[in-house]
Amino acid sequence: MLSIYQYSGIIGGMNVDSLLTENIAPPGLKGLIVADTEVGSVRGDEGWYHYRGRNAADLARQHTFEAVAHLLLSGALPDQMAEEAFRAELGAARRLTPEAAEMVAALAQTDLPPMSVLRSVLGMEVDPRPTLDLDNDERRAAVMRAIGITPTVLAAVNRIRSGAAPLDPDGSLSHSADYLRMTLGQTPLPGHARAVETYLCLTADHGFNASTFAARVITSTGTDVGGAMGGALAALAGPLHGGAPGRVLDMLRAIGHPDNAVPWIAAELDAGRKIMGFGHAVYRVADPRSETLKTVALKLGGDLVDRALEIEARVLDYLAEWKPDAVIVTNVEFYAGVVLHLAGLPQETFTPTFTTSRVVGWGAHLLEQAANNKIMRPSARYTGLLHNGD
C-alpha cells in the first residue's frame, strides 16, 4: 500500500506525476477566484466593499433597504418612482398563503431552528420549477418571493414561540419597519427602524462568503430558487458564519465592567476559545460595517454602548500585544449585537435578522449565476492510499 505521494506511474490511464503538479486550492478556498461577478466584492486590505461598484457603507448610510435591494437585484439605484414600485412589490411578496401560515404555526411548535422552518416554507411558497426552465423575469419573481416571505416567517416563528400570535405583514411599511413590527408586535420607533435598516443594508451582500458560494454552487445545477436559498440558509445557520452577534452580547454581559475585559479575554484565549466580534478572514484594516454600526450605536446611546466602546478599546489593545504580528480588527458582529439589542430585538432573532438581509445578496448572485450558467465541478486532491495490484 503506497501513498499517492510515494507512487509514480499510470493509474486508470492517468499519469500520477501530472496530478502532483496540478494547482492546489488553499484551505477553505481562501482568496481563490472561482467566478466572475458584477454584484460586488470586498477589498479587505483597503477596508472597503461595494455593491455594483458603489461604496456599500455609504449606501447603508444614505439609502433605504429597498433602494439597496433594487441596486443589487437590478443593477441600478432606483429613482423615486421605481423605488416606490419596488417597495410595493416587496410588500406584497411578504404575505404568506394560508397553507404556508398553517405550516409555520405547526413547525414553530417543534424544536426546529427558525432557519429550518424557513427552508420548509420556501419549498411551498417559491416557484418550484428549476431555474434552468425559467426566463429571467420568472427567476426574479421567485427571488422576490423568497426575499419577501423571509422576514414574515422568521418573525412569526419568534412570536409563536414567545406565546404571541403572529402578525400579518403591512405592505404600507418599509421592509425593515415591518420586520420589526411583526417581530415585536408593535410599530417600532423611527430611530430603531432606521438602525435596523442600516444593518440590513450593510449586510445584504459581502463577496463570496460561505452561504453566497453555496447558493451559487446549488444554482449552477439548475435547481429551483427555493432549493438554492435553502442551501444558503443551511450555511448561514452555522455559528462560524451567521451566529456571532448573539455571542458578542453574551460576551459583553459576561465581562460586565470594562475593567474585567482583559482578564476575561486572556482566560478565553488561554482556553483556546475564539473571541467573537474580533478578527476577520478578509479585513486587514477597520471593517467598514463595524465602523458604520458603531456610529449607529452612538446615536442610540446608553450604558451598553458606553461599555461596548470601552471594552472594544481594551480588547484591541490586549490583542495587539498578544499577537503583535497579526492585524486583528473589530468585525461587524461586535456592534451588530449592540444595535440589534437596542432596537428591541431578542437575541434569538439576531441570526434571522441577518438572514432577512443576506437573502437579497443570495438572490442577486443566484440571478447572475442562472443567467450565464455553467455547472460548478471542481476537483479534489486524493490523499488516501493506492492499492497496486490488489
- 248: nearest Cα among 336, 326, 316: 336
What's the grid cell of residue 191? 430611530
% of the chain beyond a pLDDT of 90: 78
Note whether 142 and 93 are within 8 A (CB).
no
**What is residue 231's predicted lDDT score, i.e. its pLDDT?**
96
Tell me which residue has cell 435547481: 223
User: Which residue is listed with cell 434569538?
Assistant: 348
25 contacts 163 by C-beta, under 8 angstroms: no
For residue 21, the model assigns a pLDDT of: 44
Give the confidence band of 244 by pLDDT, cuts at 50, 70, 90: low
Matching residue, cell 419573481? 141
Query: Model confidence over 297-335: pLDDT tens digits?
Result: 999 999 999 999 999 999 999 999 999 988 899 988 899
Distance CA 43, CA 59 (A): 16
Q: pLDDT value at position 104? A: 98
pLDDT(129) > 50: yes
pLDDT of 13 higher than 50: no
**Could you say which of 175, 206, 280, 341 is catalytic?**
280
Question: Looking at the chain, how many residues does it have?
Answer: 390
- Report the share of the chain in percent with pLDDT over 70: 93
Burial pattern 185-201, b for ≥16 Cβ within 10 A else e, equals: eeebeeebbbbbbbbbb
What's the helix, strand, coil split of the chain in %, to 5?
60, 5, 35
The whole-angstrom separation of Cα 158 and Cα 146 is 19
- If you search the block for the grid coordinates 470594562, which residue do you land on? 258
pLDDT category at 4 given cuts 50, 70, 90 is very low
DSSP reduced 3-state for 43: strand
Look at residue 12 and tell me whether its pLDDT is greater than 60.
no
Please say if 46 is a catalytic residue: no
263: Cβ–Cβ under 8 A, 6 or more apart, which residues?
none
234-249: average pLDDT: 81
Q: Rounded to whole angstroms, how far apart are CA atoms 285 and 50?
A: 16
Average pLDDT of span 355-377: 96
In angstroms, the CA 385 to CA 7 distance is: 10
29-68 confidence digits (pLDDT tens):
777 788 899 999 999 888 899 999 999 999 999 999 999 9
Q: 280 an active-site residue?
A: yes
Q: Which of 197, 333, 341, 368 is catalytic?
A: 333
pLDDT at 249 over 70: yes
Chain segment 137-196, per-residue pLDDT in tens? 999 999 999 999 999 999 999 999 999 999 999 999 999 999 999 999 999 999 999 999
| 211 in Cβ contact with 126 (< 8 Å) | no
Q: What are phi and psi of 117, to 5 degrees?
A: -60, -45
> Would you say residue 14 has pLDDT above 60?
no
